Amino acid sequence: MPEPFREDDLLAYIRDQSRMLGPRVRTGPGDDLAVLDFHGHGLLVGVDQVIEGVHFSKGTAPELVGRKAVVRNISDVAGMAARPLAMVASCVLPPDVSPEFARRLVDAVRRTALQFNAPLVGGDTALHRGPGPLTVSVTVLAEPVSQAMHPVLRSGGHANDRLFVTGSLGGSLLPDGTGKHLDFEPRLDEAEALHATLGGELHAMMDLSDGLARDAARLAEASGLQAVIDVAALPCNPGCGWREAMCDGEDYELLLAVGGTRAVPAVVGRGRTRISQVGVLRAMPLPNAPRVVCMLSDVELSLDGAAGFHDATRVFEAR
């Protein structure tokens, strides 16, 4: 049997192969954005794409596709507590695309980018030779909010930090392809407010795109720790339980690790977005322990690949 492809294995391989990138790379692959040294100033860069059939369904309005391609990247900027600077975009169009659809798509990318003060300054377009999914890839450039406020990385978590999330989780991508994932507001303003309020106690942060289970594992691994999630404390969207909040993904909320006993505001930003404590970081109990465990009525569950949560006696199938 050939070895199955796992995206996380490929990402780990890329990180392993990216250790000698030179002194101008402050943060390389493995965070929401890379951080470069640009003549003594921080310059952030990252890329994210949306693909028909994966990130949106066929028939989705081009306005929503273009917007999502941009705001996914803005959400990564928020994850670093940085400020967007500019964007470039490339798209691969199906051969039967109409000129009107293509114009509406690029208009949406340009308009949304401008809305976040990240003007679209270049790009590339291509046509599939045969049938192929519409794909829009956006590269974002960003800068620290000020030279005194460094980007917040995933790797800064300490043991005993409290973990918080903004907003509520689960059910963003509905079975028919609609849902919050097409019109979410990236938590840019909230991230900046949290950074200003918490200062150096905001140890680590990232945006939640692949579900709290996978993303908390990434933050914990980058920090060399284990995340313990109290599932009873998860802020779940209507119709969702803790499994959906842990696993659904496409939430585009923030996950943050806060040190000390510093009070964290209950709401933050112009939209007064709710902040909920959902767990803590702790030292790894064993070297090969899972990076995330869930506490459910004093039972400790770990996520077993994509299959579900389990402990020695019980198995919960995740969706």
Residues forming contacts to Mg ion in the complex (CB under 5 A) are 32, 76, 79, 207
Nearer to Mg ion (CB atom), residue 48 or residue 52 = 48
Helix, strand or coil for residue 50? strand
Q: Is the dihedral of CA 273, 209, 203, 192 positive or negative?
A: negative
Q: Provide the minimum distance between the beta carbon of 127 and Mg ion in the complex, in angstroms, as a whole number.
A: 29
DSSP 8-state assignment for residue 146: B
Please return the burial class of 179, using the count of CB atoms within 10 Å of its CB with bins 0-12, 13-18 and 19+: middle
Nearer to Mg ion (CB atom), residue 52 or residue 253 = 253
Nearer to Mg ion (CB atom), residue 76 or residue 221 = 76
Nearer to Mg ion (CB atom), residue 150 or residue 187 = 187
Q: 106: closest CA among 122, 86, 128? A: 122
Q: Provide the minimum distance between the beta carbon of 156 and Mg ion in the complex, in angstroms, as a whole number.
A: 15
Nearer to Mg ion (CB atom), residue 207 or residue 253 = 207
Only one residue has tokens 């940085």, namely 82
Beta sheet of 25-27, edge-to-edge order: 25-27, 34-38, 41-51, 135-144, 82-93, 120-127
Q: Provide the minimum distance between the beta carbon of 47 and Mg ion in the complex, in angstroms, as a whole number.
A: 11
- In angstroms, what CA-CA distances link 266 with 132, 195, 199, 273? 46, 15, 17, 8
- In angstroms, what CA-CA distances link 227 with 200, 266, 279? 20, 21, 7
Q: Provide the minimum distance between the beta carbon of 249 and Mg ion in the complex, in angstroms, as a whole number.
A: 11
Q: Provide the minimum distance between the beta carbon of 283 and Mg ion in the complex, in angstroms, as a whole number.
A: 25
Instruction: Using CB positions, name the residue nearest to Mg ion.
Output: 32
Q: Is the dihedral of CA 172, 173, 179, 184 positive or negative?
A: positive
Q: Provide the minimum distance between the beta carbon of 32 and Mg ion in the complex, in angstroms, as a whole number.
A: 4
Neighbouring C-alpha atoms within 13 Å toward the C-beta of 178: 2
Q: Provide the minimum distance between the beta carbon of 56 and Mg ion in the complex, in angstroms, as a whole number.
A: 18
Nearer to Mg ion (CB atom), residue 219 or residue 301 = 219
Q: What is the CA radius of gyration of the chain?
A: 20
Nearer to Mg ion (CB atom), residue 93 or residue 273 = 273
